[in-house]
């Protein structure tokens, strides 16, 4: 999905950048991550990513984890944006429920479960960072659960604030993401609110000048105003403070240097 991806940054750099946020990586861990085999591939919308054991780094497009309830109803329990890791194979004993599927066309980088096991056995900093990402995902799910007890307008407003905040953290174009991935049916499957009621709520938010709807596509004219209405605090997302890399990260995004002057990755 053009415009909703990690742009020109190398996929290894984005993997390290994401895991670096946990504060557990040492220089040797970063070197090992840059050497990790990644298989890049294009995926169409509504593609099942659970075909093999391992993890997938979302490079562009959007994906979700979902479960199918009795009667065939889908419940989305997680969203994945460019730079996020997802997958069916788990390094942890409790595993992860549900299936992972793309919401829009894009690219992913596959990491085999064998390569992951070898990596975490040799680099405990990587293992702790992966565990940290899992805890963040669980924290987001808990936030969704808490919000389920609120009125529908504030519940959906809070979800929209989260989505926009996560999109902006990766420099994605919000209008394109809402046009191709985050449709009203997705919001209904996250909130367990009927599609008809979701549509009513969105129109109520538009009437209050908190969002805009153009042919069913959502735009947020003033995120601060919507966040105040939803009582949204992005701290639980543990995202970087800015879209671009900090000065500290610039060396990381160029990859580790070696004694012979080579660089493991070129941007």
CA pair distance 205, 201, nearest whole angstrom: 6
Mean pLDDT over residues 111-135, rounded? Answer: 90
Considering only residues 10 and 109, tell me which one the structure prediction assigns the higher pLDDT: 109
Asked if pLDDT for residue 148 goes beyond 90, the answer is yes
* φ, ψ for residue 230, nearest 5 deg: -90, -5
Name the range with the highest mean pLDDT among 12-16, 73-77, 93-97: 73-77
Short-list 41, 36, 37, 82, CA closest to 59: 82
CA pair distance 98, 199, nearest whole angstrom: 26
Q: How many residues does the chain have?
A: 267
Q: Which two tokens stand for residue 247?
A: 């000065």
The yes/no answer on whether domain 11-249 falls in CATH 2.60.120.10 is yes
Percent of the chain scored above 90 by pLDDT?
56
Domain ranges of the chain: 11-249
Asked if pLDDT for residue 40 goes beyond 70, the answer is yes
Per the confidence metrics, is the pTM higher than 0.75?
Answer: yes
pLDDT value at position 1? 38
Mean pLDDT over residues 212-225, rounded? Answer: 94
* Tens digit of each residue's pLDDT (9 = 90 or more) over 97-115: 688 999 999 999 999 888 8
Mean pLDDT over residues 3-29, rounded? Answer: 77
Asked if pLDDT for residue 243 goes beyond 50, the answer is no
**Gyration radius of the chain's alpha carbons:** 19
């Amino acid at each position: 999905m053009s415009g909703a991806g990690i742009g020109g940054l190398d996929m290894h750099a984005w993997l390290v950048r994401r895991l670096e946020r946990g504060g557990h990586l040492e220089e040797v861990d970063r070197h090992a991550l840059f050497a990790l085999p990644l298989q890049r591939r294009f995926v169409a919308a509504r593609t099942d990513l659970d075909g093999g054991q391992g993890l997938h780094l979302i490079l562009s497009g959007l994906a979700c984890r979902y479960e199918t309830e009795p009667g065939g109803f889908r419940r989305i329990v997680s969203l994945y944006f460019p730079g996020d890791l997802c997958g069916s194979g788990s390094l942890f004993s409790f595993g992860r429920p549900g299936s992972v599927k793309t919401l829009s066309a894009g690219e992913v980088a596959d990491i085999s479960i064998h390569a992951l096991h070898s990596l975490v056995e040799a680099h405990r900093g990587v293992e702790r960072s992966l565990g940290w990402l899992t805890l963040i995902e669980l924290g987001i799910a808990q936030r969704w659960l808490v919000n389920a007890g609120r009125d529908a307008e504030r519940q959906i407003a809070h979800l929209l604030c989260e989505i926009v905040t996560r999109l902006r953290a990766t420099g994605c174009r919000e209008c394109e993401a809402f046009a191709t991935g985050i449709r009203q049916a997705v919001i209904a499957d996250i909130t367990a609110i009927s599609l008809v009621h979701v549509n009513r709520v969105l129109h109520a938010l538009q009437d209050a000048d908190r969002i805009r709807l153009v042919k069913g596509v959502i735009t947020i004219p003033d995120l601060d105003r919507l966040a105040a209405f939803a009582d949204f605090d992005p701290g639980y997302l543990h995202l970087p403070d800015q879209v671009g890399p900090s000065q500290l990260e610039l060396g990381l995004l160029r990859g580790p240097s070696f004694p012979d002057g080579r660089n493991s990755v070129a941007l």
